[in-house]
Amino acid sequence: MGKEKVYVFDTTLRDGEQVPGCQLNTKEKVEIALDLESLGVDIIEAGFPISSPGDFNSVNEISKVVKKSIICALSRAVISDIDMANLALKNAKRKRIHTGIGASDIHIKNKFNSTREKILEQAIAAVKYSSKFFNDIEFYAEDAGRADEDFLCKMVEEVIKAGATVINIPDTTGYNLPEIFAKKIKYLMDNVPNIDKAILSVHCHNDLGLATANTIAGLQNGARQFEATINGIGERAGNTSLEEVVMALRAHPDLNLDTGIKSKKITPISKKVSRMMNMPIQRNKAIVGANAFAHSSGIHQDGFLKHRENYEIINPEDVGLKASSIDLTARSGRAALKHRLQLLGFSFSKVELETIYIKFIEMADEKKLLHDEDLYKLMKKYS
């Protein structure tokens, strides 16, 4: 049986780019949008056109060049925002509006000073107005992660009736635990009568380090779109990391979900986004961190050299890396040292390796991480 399609909605250029210091100019945004398209992203959220002339221009320019991915623009549930999004997307081959409003009582009272009834009316009106210009309408129920479940069901039902084709359930504050978020998505799937008329999307933030886990929980319970950014960049602790969800689904074929992402392109785009946005990637970041495929302790190195799968669940080539690496430190064992020296063309007996190893440990205690130049020096000293 074929796998079920999961739509990938990338918001690197909108939620990611909101982060102070990560701003890009139009040329850079167009370059990343084209890379996202060749990565196989289904929907690219290109910006929030009413927020600034620069953002408007970026959405407009991206719309002119991207042909396969759907280009999406953000708007509040406000007519002027929707008009501006429509204008910015006028050249898009495939376009989507992403409009919405707060759904939690916290937002309704403290952000809008309003009532559930008035917010619901505004949501319906925004979707109806959007349907004058768009067939593809995504509605976001902001802070759905903390919203009353029955009110959320009502809101989702009404906006689908008004014409929304995709419903985004954001955990805006990254508050949920996977089990709670799973139940929330299941509750919507089971209690919104017209839910089959729309695709449910999950948009998680990483305030508790749970964005990927919550996203997977949502997908396991009926969501068929997830929203994410490259390297997990985004507001505060960031958004769900696109590469983590893609590879988690790949590593667990039993989930029967497929994103269609060309995973070999993950490493190059990750590096480019990091460089252009001045946002270094933490070394131990899953999938794209410098240490994600580096083995450092003697026990792990020995096990890895005997059989890769002893210590790796993903083949580094699948994410566009040439190979895993073996860090030579004072924690490394003889197997790793022997392997690297042989790669450099040295040959030696078992007894000789013992002597070389003692010298290696002395050097590694002093230098911490040894590179090939150090090994050449070591072998010069020894020979």
Q: Are 290 and 46 in contact (CB under 8 A)?
A: no
Query: Does the protein bind ligand KIV through residue 96 (CB under 6 A)?
Result: no
Give the nearest distance from C-beta 236 to Zn ion in angstroms.
Answer: 10
Q: Are 295 and 311 in contact (CB under 8 A)?
A: yes
Query: Does the protein bind Zn ion through residue 15 (CB under 5 A)?
Result: yes
**CA atoms of 120 and 155, how far apart (whole Å):** 6
Give the nearest distance from C-beta 310 to ligand KIV in angstroms.
Answer: 39
Candidate residues 60, 104, 168, 267; the one interacting with ligand KIV per rule CB under 6 A:
168
Give the nearest distance from C-beta 294 to ligand KIV in angstroms.
Answer: 33
**CA atoms of 246 and 244, how far apart (whole Å):** 6
Query: Does the protein bind Zn ion through residue 138 (CB under 5 A)?
Result: no
From the list ligand KIV, Zn ion, none, pick the one residue 10 interacts with, judged by a Cβ distance below 5 to 8 Å according to partner type: none
Contact region with ligand KIV (CB under 6 A), list: 26-34, 113-121, 165-173, 346-354: 165-173
CB closer to ligand KIV out of 48 and 360: 48
Residue 171: φ, ψ to 5°:
-95, 75
CB closer to Zn ion out of 15 and 17: 15
Give the nearest distance from C-beta 233 to Zn ion in angstroms.
Answer: 11
CB closer to Zn ion out of 15 and 157: 15
From the list Zn ion, ligand KIV, none, pick the one residue 142 interacts with, judged by a Cβ distance below 5 to 8 Å according to partner type: ligand KIV
Quote the Cα angle for 271-339-302, to 5°.
85
Give the nearest distance from C-beta 167 to ligand KIV in angstroms.
Answer: 11
From the list Zn ion, ligand KIV, none, pick the one residue 221 interacts with, judged by a Cβ distance below 5 to 8 Å according to partner type: none
**CA atoms of 179 and 216, how far apart (whole Å):** 11
Contact region with ligand KIV (CB under 6 A), list: 34-42, 119-127, 164-172, 294-302: 164-172
Which residues contribute to the site for Zn ion (CB under 5 A)? 15
Which residues contribute to the site for ligand KIV (CB under 6 A)? 15, 140, 142, 168, 170, 172, 203, 205
